[in-house]
Structure 1
């Protein structure tokens, strides 16, 4: 463990190579619209609980502050791209767990924040596929409200696993696009979920939606 207070940026890739004896790869044979037979190579996640429609959740956690709403983000090293990535809290669903329940649990575990999900249809978004040209992984984006007057949100106690090194921070929601640009210039990678949220906010501003 590098240092006394390990940070995501302390991690690094030492080597890469094939994973002997295990292959998540899938070869699909199909016909295109003209009837021509083709093949497609992809990866397949095998951790989806039985009966679940999703693999995991992405969490849009909003801190209700006097200065305006702030979104919870985190920094986490991702070996496949050898970079620290700016992400929203996220995780896999457990067996028998719904998206809202999973999001509240994962938020608490990864950040320490205690939140709630609205039950008016706004809280849980549609099923989204992360990279359908490569993998079958999917998720729900879940919108979680975090009440900063709750004493539990003043003294955060994350419940990270032994292999998790996550740095949590927040940024004003209105500045998310500019913050992504700034962090990218500093060498961080921007997760697509964060980037898409930022782009959406910027589009809404530009077109006065």
Structure 2
């Protein structure tokens, strides 16, 4: 389900950016006291896009493809290839996006999945597993936070027969799916092929591998 190839992009230059010119993120210096009462400082980044009153910046979508006509088929997860300027590589990711004002994480996830992949999904039925706790990507560097939303895609529905993404002009995303049980080995394979691995994909793959090796299910 390829859209636009992203691996032809290249970084041309990098240069300092003044906070006053930043649209999406800014640098801050925090002064705090450590457990012994000593005053210290910490440099970090903050997003400028979090809607007022919202506890997260965005969502990641773990979307599992299911075909009711073939209930014994291996579950597959929807992934993406998207070139990212900060790492100058094409990254293996899950569908994701930033929250809109007055939007719930669940609504954001369904919207982003439709826009980026064309798939119409629904939340998993188990309410104890549909939405993750708030998670921080890199709390030593940035305050960016998200929730993972767990979604299923019914491939028998007419709207999922020939999904068409609705990408913005600056989005160059290639969508594909892989067997969920093979995600760890595939992450290693992708890395060998020169791709970067988004932490959400890598952590999910690692969790699946832990469950296999320690027989948690």
Task: Provide Cα deviations, 1:63-87, integer angstroms capped at 9, x if missing partner.
Answer: 0143210000000000011000000
Show the counterpart of 1:60: 62
Alignment partners' CA distance in 2, 1:162 and 1:179: 30
**How far is the alpha carbon of 1:6 from its aligned partner?**
4.0
45-54 vs 175-184, greater mean Cα deviation: 45-54
Alignment partners' CA distance in 2, 1:97 and 1:56: 10
198-207 vs 146-155, greater mean Cα deviation: 146-155
When normalised by structure 1's length, the TM-score is 0.95
Consecutive unaligned residues of structure 2, counting only runs of 5 or more, are none
Alignment partners' CA distance in 2, 1:118 and 1:6: 30
* Residue in structure 1 matching 2:42, options 40, 43, 48: 40
Within 5 Å, give how 1:4-83 maps onto structure 2. Answer: 6-20=4-18, 21-22=20-21, 24-65=26-67, 66=70, 67-83=73-89
How many residues are aligned here?
205
The alignment's C-alpha RMSD in Å is: 1.2
Helix, strand or coil at the partner of 1:9: coil
* Residue in structure 2 matching 1:200, options 168, 189, 207: 207
Alignment partners' CA distance in 1, 2:145 and 2:77: 22
**How far is the alpha carbon of 1:118 from its aligned partner?**
3.0
Are 1:169 and 2:160 counterparts? no
Helix, strand or coil at the partner of 1:11: coil
* Residue in structure 2 matching 1:97, options 92, 103, 110: 103
Helix, strand or coil at the partner of 2:128: coil
Within 5 Å, give how 1:127-206 maps onto structure 2. Answer: 127-206=134-213
| 8 Å Cα contact 2:4-2:173 kept in structure 1 | no
Alignment partners' CA distance in 2, 1:105 and 1:55: 15
Show the counterpart of 1:109: 115
59-68 vs 92-101, greater mean Cα deviation: 59-68
Task: Provide Cα deviations, 1:61-118, integer angstroms capped at 9, x if missing partner.
Answer: 0001432100000000000110000000000011111011100000000011100013
Alignment partners' CA distance in 2, 1:53 and 1:191: 22
Show the counterpart of 1:121: 128
Alignment partners' CA distance in 2, 1:19 and 1:134: 17
| 8 Å Cα contact 2:9-2:83 kept in structure 1 | yes
Consecutive unaligned residues of structure 1, counting only runs of 5 or more, are none
